[in-house]
Amino acid sequence: MSAYLDNSATTKPEEAVAKKVYQMLTEHFGNPSSFHKEGLDANAEVRRAREIIAKSLSCENEELFFTSGGTEANNLAIFGSAMANKRKGNRIVTTAIEHESVLESVAELEKQGFEVIRLEPNSDGNISEEQIFEAVNSDTILVSMMYVNNEVGSILPVKSIRKAVKKAKAPALVHIDCVQAYGKYEIKPAKLGADLVTITAHKVHGPKGTGALYIKKGTRIVPRTYGGEQEHKIRPGTEASPLIAGFGEAVSLFPDLKEQTKAIHELNSYARAELEKIYGVKINNSTDSSDYILNVYIPSFMTSQTIVQHLSSQYGVYVSNGSACAKGKKSHVLTAMKLGDKVIEKSIRISFSRMNTKADVDELTSAIRETVEKYPL
């Protein structure tokens, strides 16, 4: 038996997705830009995927640009916006709990002379609407914020960004990183007031290596790469048609959102109740956070990285000690929440998908209970 509970890092691809990718690699392997039958067949699959994903966002096909994933899409959104609008202002507003692809991008822009405002979270990992309104001024050219935090699941007030931009009469573009929200919440860029939205395939049971950036029609950004006509020159280069087709297939398999939301809420509530029965265990994120993520303090002498490896090797239970992209670095999210080194060094992230069951939670809690008993503080 095993329990995969690291779905915020990546999800298991659906069988139909794997079959679609294989079919593309073996049957429709042509270059999508070629004019012969093999190329046209591959191009048709890319168009189909674009239509499926665009429909899920209630946007036009032409507003969706494929990338290699969320990291590239975030870089394209941030650098592209800053370079396109640098004569209109100098301020960039973000938060201290963003994904590394956002934080490191704005840090680079800061070196180039842009003013970067990083909003600090409260102890629950939340940002307030008031903080956004205070930070956005008439000199702001970009506000970049995640919808759902990848470590503690806090749901940020992204719908307030457009209101703050309008109030400040700022020329700012609004970028929302929806990597942890897409497929779990209703993501409609128009309703969010977003000019740019980042999504990726491997968080929604699709393949790794492809994602997309929604760019509102009429929004100008500067490309990061050059050398081709693909994606309207915004992201040139031969399209990864097998992965893109797999992305489309994954989105076509999205279940009813209300039913999925109810099931995950029940699973989260069950997990919270079972974890709280274990002596010394503390849940770091509030019940207002996303039901897909639990951040949990484990009272063991082991550090979080060792706990993750122990649960994996001894019990076949797979969780993480923070963002997979951080590769073992101290959590900047928990640090920003000021939880203290003792908690930060012994906290793990549990993240669910629609494939998880109560049996997975039972395996998890049994493994944690035994670990705490065998290796206490």
Annotated catalytic residues are 325
Sheet holding 293-297, edge to edge: 282-283, 293-297, 347-351
Supply φ then ψ for residue 93, to 5 degrees: -110, 130
Residue with tokens 């029609």: 217
| Straight-line distance from the first to the last Cα atom of the chain, in angstroms, rounded to the nearest whole number | 28
Supply φ then ψ for residue 321, to 5 degrees: -110, 35
- Contact (CB, 8 A) for 200 and 167: no
C-alpha distances in angstroms, 333 versus 153, 250, 295, 339?
11, 30, 11, 10
The tokens of 320 are what?
A: 């993480």
Half-sphere exposure at residue 250, Cβ-oriented, CA atoms within 13 angstroms: 28
**How far apart are the C-alpha atoms of 72 and 67, rounded to whole Å?**
6
Enumerate the H helices of 185-298 as residue ranges: 189-192, 241-252, 257-275
**How far apart are the C-alpha atoms of 170 and 139, rounded to whole Å?**
6
Sheet holding 115-119, edge to edge: 64-67, 211-215, 196-200, 173-177, 140-146, 91-95, 115-119
